[in-house]
Structure 1
Amino acid sequence: MSRRVQGYLYLALAMVTVGSTVIASKLIASGLPPFTATALRFALALPFFFVLMRASGARLPKLSGYDRLILFIQAGAGSVGYTTLLISGLSLTSAAYAGVIIGTLPVVSAAISILLLGERPQPALLLAVALAAAGVFSIAFAPGAAGGSLAGNALIFLAVVCEGLFILLNKRLKTEIAPLAQSTLMTGIGLVVSAVPAVFEAPLAHGFSPGAFAAVAYYALVPTVGGFLLWYAGAERVSGTEASLFTALAPVSAVILAFAVLGEAVGLNQIAGIGCVLAAVLGLAFAGGRAGTKLIEER
């Protein structure tokens, strides 16, 4: 097997793990409060990142007060905000709907850059935004038979916006941070940020669902740690543009897994939505947009 084909395989598997976070979050939503689940996820993942840091000889960089503040806000938005909103949204809507919505991340990230950073939009980006919007609208306003909910869909979209802000804030860092070090920092800070509100959820009073706890463990070890390793093993074997194309597999895997694992119905509106989102992400990737490659770092 050639080095490039190996890269494609690793990237595809990484994006399948990203899609599976939707299924895990759906299971978590039925048995654990969102902040408690998020804190548990980070608590389980952090030791493994420390082991990876030690094994690779990586070191945490010296950061200015400004960069520390940016990292804290990033962790609050991209790590804690994304996960808690995703879990909360999936308590109200279907995993198949959520899979379509999270697939818009590369496009939403590019749109945020235009709105907040004043970047000039290219025609390909404007078309991608229109296609992604059409994909979301095709499902967001058609709740019902497949377990959809407008409120739940809105929470999922807010989760995507939080992750888009993470990517935007990453451009504001003055110190370049290696991916492993940044993921370790995000996991550690995310644990601290989520642990405080988790106390007020009184998790012991809710009890622990074994299925939900197993889903948290899966989320922590497979998409968060395993997905990180797969993504960067693949990314070092192919070009950045090739890697960005694989982000389109995340929503597809989420919808397929929602059908295969959860037994959710997949209707024409979801198929149309995923088609629009795929066209948007692929078009953005071919145009050179790489915002979606950050998707794996906090999953």
Structure 2
Amino acid sequence: MSDRFLGYVYLALAMIVVGSTVVASKVIGSGLPVFTATALRFAIAFPCFLFLMRVTGAPLPRLGKRDWLLLVLQAGAGSVGYTTLLIAGMHLTSAADAAVIIGTLPIVSAAIAIVLLRERPQASLLLAVLLAGAGVLSIAVRADGANAGAQHSLLGNALIFAAIVCEGLFILLNKCLKTAIPPLALSTIMTGLGLALSIIPAVFEMPWQTPVTSKAVWAVVYYAMVPTVAGFLLWYAGAAKVSGSEAALFTALAPVSAVVLAVVVLGEVVSSSQLTGIACVLLAIGGMAFLGNGALVFLKKTKNLTTEARRDRDNTENLK
């Protein structure tokens, strides 16, 4: 198994658990204030990362001021910003709408990778991104009957899109770091900074005066242990093996996961257009994996054969 393919597996698993945050946030938003839930998420996850670092003997890296600033920006945007905006948006809108909006993450992340990181993706990769985008649009096109009785909110949808922008920055700012940080150490730093940035706003929410549901607390525990601990490790391990624009494409799996979990957990009905969208997303990722491995090997072999043919031709001309 090549490093690139292994990176694809890590990224796919990471985005599947990211999709589950839609359902978890729906439950959290109805029973906890947003910053309180965010701080509780990191308060649970941070000791887990510290324990993993102690068990594995992983040291914290020495970083310069620029890298620390980038890490604070990552934590503020992706850790705190994404969580609070998603929970606030899910309190106002439906899981189906959120799944569609999360589907814009590949396009947003790819744009950041190209503009901010100055990457030049191949035409095949751009085509795969477009195919993933087509899948997202197919999920967005639903029959009126499928929307009957659903909860919709322009403000809620806007908050979720803002969360997606934050997540796109979170995903790709890691590529700007000068010092290479191992996934476990980076996840620990992100969680600790997220806790530090969210705990003060959480105090101002005065959660001790707010009714709290047990379902919301358990949803936060899940959010902390699965998308946060497992998701961070999987994403950073995968992102270290591929380019930023390739990693951005895998974010298309998040809406697929969100739709499936909306059916299983929330009892929503999947339409034929949503199934078509899921197929397009999976086809885009499968095509990207082929182009990144099989096509690359084919091109290398073709180049080698061409070089050998030219060498034989030159030798023949010399004999003449």
* TM-score normalised by length of structure 1: 0.79
Q: Aligned pair 1:259/2:263, yes or no?
A: yes
TM alignment of 1:137-286, pairs within 5 A: 137-138=137-138, 144-145=147-148, 146-228=150-232, 249-286=253-290
Q: Quick one: distance in 1 between partners of 2:168 and 2:266?
A: 28
CA distance in 2, matches of 1:113, 1:58: 29
- Segments of structure 2 that go 5 or more residues without pairing to the other structure are 294-320
Q: Distance in 2 between matches of 1:249 and 1:77?
A: 21
The percent of aligned pairs where both chains have the same amino acid is: 66
CA displacement at 1:281 relative to structure 2: 4.3
**What whole-Å deviation, never above 9, does each CA across 1:6-44 have from its counterpart, x for those lacking one?**
x79887665543332221111101111211111100001
- The structural deviation recorded for 1:118 is 3.8
| Letter of the structure 2 residue corresponding to residue 19 of structure 1 | G
Contact 1:29–1:91 (CA under 8 A) maintained in structure 2: yes
| Alignment deviations for residues 68-105 of structure 1 (CA, whole Å, 9 cap, x no partner) | 11110110011111111111221122223323433443
Paired AA for residue 18 in structure 1: V
Provide the rounded CA distance (Å) in 1 between the counterparts of 2:182 and 2:279: 34
Given that 2:139 and 2:275 are in contact with CA atoms closer than 8 Å, whether structure 1 keeps it comes out as: no
The answer to whether the aligner puts 1:123 opposite 2:126 as a matched pair is: no
CA distance in 1, matches of 2:281, 2:257: 13
**Unpaired segments of 5 or more residues in structure 1?**
290-299
Q: Structure 1 residue 265: deviation in Å?
A: 2.9
Change (3 A) 1:106 1:73: same
- Which SS does the other structure have where 2:109 is aligned? helix
Corresponding residue for 1:293? none
Q: State the Cα deviation string for residues 127-173 of structure 1 (Å, max 9, x = none).
A: 34444444445566868434344433332222222111123321221
Aligned to 1:62: 62
Code of the residue aligned with 2:30 in structure 1: it is S
Task: Provide the secondary structure at the position in 1 that maps to 2:31.
Answer: coil
Q: Deviations over 1:249-277 (max 9, x none)?
A: 44322211111111123334433444444
Structure 1 residues 182-230: Cα deviation after superposition (integer angstroms, max 9, x where no partner): 1000000001111122222222222211110110011111222234566
- CA distance in structure 2 between the aligned counterparts of 1:254 and 1:185, rounded to whole angstroms: 27
SS at match of 1:261: helix
Distance 1:137 1:227, change over 3 A: closer
Give the distance between the partners of 1:15 and 1:133, measured in 2 at CA: 16
**Closer, same or farther in 2 for the Cα pair 1:93/1:267, shift >3 Å?**
farther
Structure with higher Rg: it is 2
Give how far 1:67 is off. 1.1
| Cα distance in 2 for residues equivalent to 1:200 and 1:286 | 51
The answer on whether the counterparts of 1:139 and 1:269 sit within 8 Å (CA) in structure 2 is yes
Task: Report how many residues are paired.
Answer: 282
Call closer, same or farther: CA 1:162–1:15 in 2, change over 3 Å.
Answer: closer
C-alpha distance in structure 1 between counterparts of 2:242 and 2:122, whole Å:
19
Letter in 1 for 2:206: A
